[in-house]
């Protein structure tokens, strides 16, 4: 085999092992009988170890050989991809395979324990697992190395060029705007705040969601739609992309919101090039860019007045005709965009959402850096909830236990959610410059224009560029949070004209 063939085979194996882990993890969340958890953790751990071994023993040495070979047969585009691959993987190379396996096993078990603890609102059941995961994460950080603080090493696993200080600065910039906007909305008497919840039977919600998603590109030949307590999207291949949603019979906004969010992730996975297996062109650019896709579809489409005109006119007549007289597109959009602090992150409006992220960022940074103990975590959580959102969780299920991330060992993940929102707003502005009336088409039930723009400017590039470079190429400038601020201002002005006095 030539070097090129060997490299293709190693990258292909890496991709296929990754896909197998994806299926096993999806199955664990959605299908597996509960008693299978302990064994499943071992299966995933073993595959994670093989995945890591193949990376460090085959993929990376072959990439280095390719990059240093003088008579290389790789094209400049291939060389660029290999350089990106190397850059992204170098930290992971520093981790011993045994740690990777153990981490995967513990995280896999902890997710099951977390789900159980959450359902019984029993933090103490989850605490020993969380402690184990934090200890392993700190060990991971030591192997990875960092300049200023252990948390830095974990954050950079998700976004290579990001530092905790930068996240801190970013939040410092918008924190006051968010808090003041939230306050202004709370003080105003928003029309939707007293509206009855949009109650609908689970089976009807599912059918409605499936119809909406089908208009956007969901297709049973390529996609699945299932239920899980924590909605997620699993991209096994561009031809096998699975969404899960959560249904709250008391309020359809949960199902619809999670569906639009996960559909954004799904469209990205479906839009990535399929070949050559394992090369960066077939991969997502980063978690932040992935999140920009889900945020775009959840916020800029799903929360738009145009979308609610579409739902009102094309969807509701078949599912809930009585809502036609109880609501208008505007009052539905107002309800979907009710800006009010909420205990649950994924049920939060677009303003208080980022205060949720700020809280998690501060807490996980303190946990990893050794400044906060697990036993003090619930109290710290509740204190910050009071400080940023003016709420106190009545139970840990509605507080510190609400998210799956820490049980998965995903410390450093939360900040990418805020980055994703900011990218999304900047992309939406670029789409609007190119198609000033794209929301008119959305109101008619056509989602082609934004999808085509994202396919061309984001999806098609895979991970051949960094998040930053992709953003600059697609929008003409580096990431800036001002598009998000402008988007929030416009939204408040459009939906709550004259009712809310925004900060200057």
Cβ closer to its own copies: 1 or 504?
A: 1
What is the spatial distance between Cα 156 and Cα 96, in angstroms, rounded to a whole number? 18
Query: Of 151-159, 222-230, 342-350, 420-428, which part binds its own copies (CB under 8 A)?
Result: 222-230
Stretch (H or E) spanning 140: helix 123-144
Indicate the Cα dihedral angle 42, 45, 46, 47, nearest 10°: 130
Q: How many CB atoms lie within 10 A of CB 229?
A: 12
Residue ranges with strand state E in 238-364: 240-245
Query: Of 23-31, 289-297, 356-364, 389-397, which part binds its own copies (CB under 8 A)?
Result: 23-31
What is the spatial distance between Cα 295 and Cα 299, in angstroms, rounded to a whole number? 5
Strand partners of residue 233? 243
Q: Per rule CB under 8 A, is residue 27 in the interface with its own copies?
A: yes
Smallest gap from Cβ 265 to its own copies, in A, equals 16
Smallest gap from Cβ 15 to its own copies, in A, equals 9
What is the spatial distance between Cα 395 and Cα 375, in angstroms, rounded to a whole number? 16
What is the spatial distance between Cα 190 and Cα 44, in angstroms, rounded to a whole number? 48
- Considering only CA atoms, which of 96, 27, 23 is closest in space to residue 55? 96
Token pair 């005709």 is found at: 321
Query: Of 37-45, 84-92, 361-369, 448-456, which part binds its own copies (CB under 8 A)?
Result: 37-45
Query: Of 28-36, 310-318, 405-413, 483-491, which part binds its own copies (CB under 8 A)?
Result: 28-36
Query: Of 10-18, 58-66, 244-252, 395-403, which part binds its own copies (CB under 8 A)?
Result: 10-18
Q: Per rule CB under 8 A, is residue 16 in the interface with its own copies?
A: yes
Catalytic residue among 149, 262, 298, 362: 262
Tell which one of 29, 159, 240, 298 touches its own copies (CB under 8 A).
240
- Considering only CA atoms, which of 467, 443, 454, 403 is closest in space to residue 232? 403
Contact 426, 475 (CB under 8 A): yes
Q: Per rule CB under 8 A, is residue 147 in the interface with its own copies?
A: no
Whether 262 is a known active-site residue: answer yes
Tell which one of 3, 43, 207, 499 touches its own copies (CB under 8 A).
43
Cβ closer to its own copies: 220 or 436?
A: 220
Cβ closer to its own copies: 31 or 318?
A: 31
292: CB partners within 8 A, 6+ apart: 419, 420, 421, 423, 424, 427, 458
Token pair 């896909």 is found at: 19
Tell which one of 23, 330, 380, 441 touches its own copies (CB under 8 A).
23
Query: Of 21-29, 154-162, 202-210, 287-295, which part binds its own copies (CB under 8 A)?
Result: 21-29
What is the spatial distance between Cα 496 and Cα 187, in angstroms, rounded to a whole number? 13
387: CB partners within 8 A, 6+ apart: none
Size of the site for its own copies (CB under 8 A): 35
Cβ closer to its own copies: 223 or 337?
A: 223
Kindly identify the residues of this chain, within the stretch 375-414, that bind its own copies according to CB under 8 A: none
Q: Per rule CB under 8 A, is residue 34 in the interface with its own copies?
A: yes
Q: Which two tokens stand for residue 91?
A: 């930290």
Tell which one of 223, 244, 348, 475 touches its own copies (CB under 8 A).
223
Residue 219, classified by CB atoms within 10 Å of its CB into exposed (0-12), middle (13-18) or buried (19+), is exposed
Smallest gap from Cβ 43 to its own copies, in A, equals 5
Contact 431, 138 (CB under 8 A): no
Kindly identify the residues of this chain, within the stretch 192-221, that bind its own copies according to CB under 8 A: 220-221
Tell which one of 3, 32, 58, 499 touches its own copies (CB under 8 A).
32
The SS3 assignment for 236 reads: strand
Query: Of 17-25, 185-193, 199-207, 355-363, which part binds its own copies (CB under 8 A)?
Result: 17-25
Kindly identify the residues of this chain, within the stretch 261-300, that bind its own copies according to CB under 8 A: 274, 277
Q: Which two tokens stand for residue 104?
A: 């995967």
Q: Per rule CB under 8 A, is residue 344 in the interface with its own copies?
A: no
Tell which one of 3, 4, 20, 378 touches its own copies (CB under 8 A).
20
Contact 413, 288 (CB under 8 A): no
User: What backbone phi and psi angles, to 5 degrees, belong to 401?
Assistant: -95, 5
Tell which one of 94, 163, 215, 224 touches its own copies (CB under 8 A).
224
User: What backbone phi and psi angles, to 5 degrees, belong to 460?
Assistant: -60, -25
Cβ closer to its own copies: 7 or 355?
A: 7
Residue ranges with strand state E in 86-135: none
Q: Per rule CB under 8 A, is residue 53 in the interface with its own copies?
A: no
Smallest gap from Cβ 225 to its own copies, in A, equals 10
Indicate the Cα dihedral angle 14, 19, 20, 21, nearest 10°: 90
- Considering only CA atoms, which of 486, 417, 428 is closest in space to residue 453? 428
Cβ closer to its own copies: 11 or 419?
A: 11
Q: Per rule CB under 8 A, is residue 71 in the interface with its own copies?
A: no
Q: Per rule CB under 8 A, is residue 228 in the interface with its own copies?
A: no
Q: Per rule CB under 8 A, is residue 97 in the interface with its own copies?
A: no
Chain residues in the site for its own copies (CB under 8 A)? 12-13, 16-17, 19-20, 23-24, 27, 31-36, 38-40, 42-43, 46-47, 50, 220-224, 236-237, 239-240, 242, 274, 277
The residues annotated as belonging to the active site are 262
């Amino acid at each position: 085999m030539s070097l090129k063939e060997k490299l293709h085979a190693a990258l292909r194996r890496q991709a296929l092992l990754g896909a197998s882990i994806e299926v096993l993890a999806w199955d664990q969340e959605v299908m597996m009988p509960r008693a299978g958890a302990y064994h499943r953790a071992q299966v995933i751990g073993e595959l994670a170890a093989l995945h890591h071994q193949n990376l460090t023993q085959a993929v990376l040495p072959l990439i280095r050989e390719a990059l240093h070979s003088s008579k290389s047969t790789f094209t400049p585009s291939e060389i660029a991809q290999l350089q990106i691959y190397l850059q992204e993987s170098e930290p992971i190379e520093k981790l011993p395979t045994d740690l990777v396996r153990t981490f995967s096993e513990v995280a896999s078990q902890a997710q099951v324990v977390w789900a159980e603890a959450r359902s019984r609102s029993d933090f103490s059941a989850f605490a020993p697992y969380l402690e184990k995961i934090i200890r392993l994460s700190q060990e991971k950080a030591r192997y990875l190395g960092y300049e200023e603080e252990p948390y830095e090493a974990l954050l950079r696993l998700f976004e290579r060029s990001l530092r905790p200080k930068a996240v801190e600065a970013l939040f410092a910039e918008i924190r006051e705007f968010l808090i003041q906007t939230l306050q202004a909305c709370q003080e105003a008497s928003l029309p939707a705040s007293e509206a009855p919840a949009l109650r609908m039977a689970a089976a009807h919600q599912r059918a409605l969601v499936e119809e909406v998603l089908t208009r956007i590109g969901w297709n049973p030949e390529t996609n699945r739609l299932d239920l899980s307590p924590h909605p997620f999207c699993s991209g096994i291949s561009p031809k096998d992309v699975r969404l899960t949603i959560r249904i709250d019979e008391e309020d359809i906004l949960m199902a619809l919101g999670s569906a639009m969010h996960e559909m954004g992730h799904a469209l990205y996975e479906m839009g990535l090039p399929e070949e050559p297996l394992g090369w960066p062109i077939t991969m997502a650019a980063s978690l932040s860019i992935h999140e920009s896709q889900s945020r775009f579809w959840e916020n800029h489409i799903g929360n738009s007045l145009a979308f609610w005109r579409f739902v009102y006119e094309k969807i509701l007549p078949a599912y809930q005709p009585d809502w036609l007289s109880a609501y208008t597109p505007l009052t539905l959009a107002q309800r979907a965009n009710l800006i009010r602090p909420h205990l649950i992150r994924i049920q939060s409006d677009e303003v208080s959402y980022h205060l949720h992220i700020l809280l998690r960022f501060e807490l996980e940074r303190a946990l990893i850096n050794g400044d906060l103990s697990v036993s003090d975590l619930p109290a710290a959580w509740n204190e910050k909830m009071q400080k940023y959102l003016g709420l106190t969780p009545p139970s840990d299920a509605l507080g510190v236990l609400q998210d799956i991330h820490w049980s998965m060992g995903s410390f450093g993940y939360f900040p990418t959610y805020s980055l994703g929102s900011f990218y999304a707003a900047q992309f939406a502005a670029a789409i609007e410059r190119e198609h000033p009336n794209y929301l008119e088409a959305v109101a008619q039930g056509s989602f082609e224009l934004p999808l085509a723009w994202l396919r061309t400017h984001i999806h098609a590039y895979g991970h051949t560029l960094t998040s930053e470079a992709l953003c600059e190429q697609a929008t003409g400038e580096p990431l800036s949070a001002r598009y998000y601020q402008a988007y929030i201002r416009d939204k408040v002005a459009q939906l709550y004209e004259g009712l809310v006095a925004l900060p200057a």
